[in-house]
Amino acid sequence: MAANGTGLPMARKPLAKIVTDDKQGNGMCHDDSAKGVKAQTIDELHFLQKKRSAPTTPLEGNQGAFASLPDDERRRQQLQSISASLASLTRGTGPKVVRGDPAAKSSQAVEHVAHRHHHHVEAPAISVSDDSSLKFTHVLYNLSPAELYEQAVKYEKGSFITSSGALATLSGAKTGRSPRDKRVVMDDTTQNELWWGRGSPNIEMDEHTFLVNRERAVDYLNSLDKVFVNDQFLNWDPQNRIKVRIVSARAYHSLFMHNMCIRPTDEELENFGTPDFTIYNAGQFPCNRYTHYMTSSTSIDLNLARKEMVILGTQYAGEMKKGLFSVMHYLMPKRQILSLHSGCNMGIDGDVALFFGLSGTGKTTLSTDHNRYLIGDDEHCWSDYGVSNIEGGCYAKCIDLSREKEPDIWNAIKFGTVLENVVFDEHIREVEYGDKSVTENTRAAYPIEYIPNAKLPCIGPHPKNVILLACDAFGVLPPVSKLNLAQTMYHFISGYTALVAGTEDGIKEPTATFSACFGAAFIMLHPTKYAAMLAEKMQKHGATGWLVNTGWSGGSYGSGNRIKLAYTRKIIDAIHSGSLLNATYEKIDVFGLEIPTEIEGVPSEILRPENTWGDKKAYKNTLLKLGCLFKNNFETFTNYKIGKDTKLTQEILAAGPNF
């Protein structure tokens, strides 16, 4: 207190008088500065905090079987559909389901008062013969990223929010796909339609074994207090989109598929109806190793007749993405639509390019071009209407990611993005992208609209150029070659690149890798069927095929040099602009490829590989060695008949190495 002249403290000023507003005549004091809340309890206050999302676009005409139904009836039928998806085949009925988090008991109590809450709508009771009749299965239906963050951080160990806002999570013991544990039901139809045997990714199982695994997965999911259900779409082409339902036990899996599939509008979700395909992801629960056809505790099973996929014994989310890609590789060709494992971009004039390439070839780098629109980075369809992205998101590798090398991917890692198996600082939560402590296969899954130059909707006209990328560590393939249709089919079926492998004594040498159609692990039909469709569409729409080597020049790995990315970009630019079509070409030996004699911005001497080798004999021997590897790989496909005779097969064979 301040002192007056006497040294004694000054008296305080009196407090402002509390005004009593006795309008109601009860003598009660209250604050008139704001109106009271419309709630009688804290629970009701929390309920009022969350407002139901309103539809963003008006309904036009009849949007489906549910369009004319009242809201309550529509939601009841949605829940019946989900219950049917979770039905046990032995009991013949599904569980009793309600929408909402079982932990939110207070919200459920409020609902009976407010009659507004959209997460808790009870399905009609279904009589069953065991303990499942005594419980409800709570369905967390198409939750938003924010809601899924809350579920993951609260209930899933190993889930954290990173400094960029992305959700970091762990996929458990499996940090990659398990192709040897993938099974496809062989029945009377698929036995004749699918590619089986040597070189095929399709390993058979019978219907009974699938149903055993399905029952195991469904029983596990029904034993949980809650499951996550995503109803979404595949394929941006509205004429050929597929409705998919994903039932899973983890928020991580639900958010991953929210990002990777096409997200429906509120109206599309209200009228979703019965899905075309369903995934049962019970990856936290193992399969029974004593079950026929099982070789481990992991099993990923496809039943094309039942339109179902079962996942047991692996929590790696990529199994769902690639499992659905396999389904599209089966369904789309039946509609005369070519499914492709490729990147795709479009110039400002509408010229579309497809990029095929295995890991390390530069497919992502070259298809992501700031001067062009990104249609998609991985999975596409080519129909009579043009190209369309199958997915609604991107699944990018994160190992050694930097802002300088991949600014678009770096900036896409923000709120809503799933980061798989990354390592981060425990205090500031900053991700260490170079850290391989968990796995080298660290990944980011994010919606495609997180890329600034993404084309939405993700569709485009017919491709003008088809670019096959190979990282040739043998150093004998030219930086670029123009392909005729037969050569395009040959190299498309081969799906070649070369990896650098270490030997026991420390000497490193190239190892050839072949993956049919640049995605053998996912195709369902024989590779020549996809190749024939590709050639037919290229011929019909005037597309040109190109083979681009992003690997070595002047020698093999260890003696030559990697072709500079700047040169490869100049080559790709010349393809896009059409100037490379008007170049002068000459043919090289063995592979019979046509190579340009000149490209602006690229040293002419590197365009012909032989010119860059000091040891011409070594070049010739290495060229013949690679030619032999191509021939040996192609033996798998030589006896397959395309069409009524072997004419097309012979044309493809003639387009390969000749010596």
Which residues participate in catalysis according to the annotation? Answer: 177, 322, 341, 359, 363-364, 378, 443
Which residues in 377-442 belong to E strands, given as ranges? 379-383, 386-389, 393-397, 418-420, 423-424, 431-432
What length is written for the chain? 659
Distances (CA, A) of 249 to 143, 223, 310: 13, 11, 13
Q: State whether residue 140 is helix, strand or coil.
A: strand
Residue 568 Cα to chain centre, angstroms:
27
Residue pair 229/139 in contact (Cβ under 8 Å)? The answer is yes
Best CA proximity match to 475, nearest among 614, 649, 576: 614
Bridge partners for 232 per DSSP: 244
C-alpha 508/C-alpha 500 separation (Å) is 7
Best CA proximity match to 518, nearest among 540, 494, 501: 494
Best CA proximity match to 537, nearest among 328, 346, 354: 354
CA angle 27, 32, 35 (to 5 degrees): 115
Q: How many CB atoms lie within 10 A of CB 397?
A: 16
The token duo for 62 is: 């009849």
Best CA proximity match to 478, nearest among 608, 630, 613, 598: 608
Buried-state track 266-275, b at ≥16 Cβ within 10 A, e below 16: ebbebbbeeb
Bridge partners for 469 per DSSP: 548
C-alpha 503/C-alpha 515 separation (Å) is 23
Contacts of 215 (CB under 8 A, 6+ apart): 88, 89, 90
Contacts of 548 (CB under 8 A, 6+ apart): 467, 468, 469, 470, 479, 480, 481, 568, 571, 572
What's at 481, amino acid-wise?
Answer: S
- According to DSSP H, which parts of 86-233 are helical? 105-114, 145-155, 190-193, 207-223
C-alpha 191/C-alpha 205 separation (Å) is 11
Residue pair 487/557 in contact (Cβ under 8 Å)? The answer is no
Best CA proximity match to 380, nearest among 522, 263, 570: 522
Eight-state DSSP code of residue 132: G
Residue pair 269/281 in contact (Cβ under 8 Å)? The answer is no
Q: How many CB atoms lie within 10 A of CB 301?
A: 27
Distances (CA, A) of 321 to 326, 383, 542: 9, 21, 32
C-alpha 438/C-alpha 422 separation (Å) is 7
Q: How many CB atoms lie within 10 A of CB 553?
A: 25
Contacts of 113 (CB under 8 A, 6+ apart): 44
Contacts of 512 (CB under 8 A, 6+ apart): 474, 496, 498, 626, 629, 633
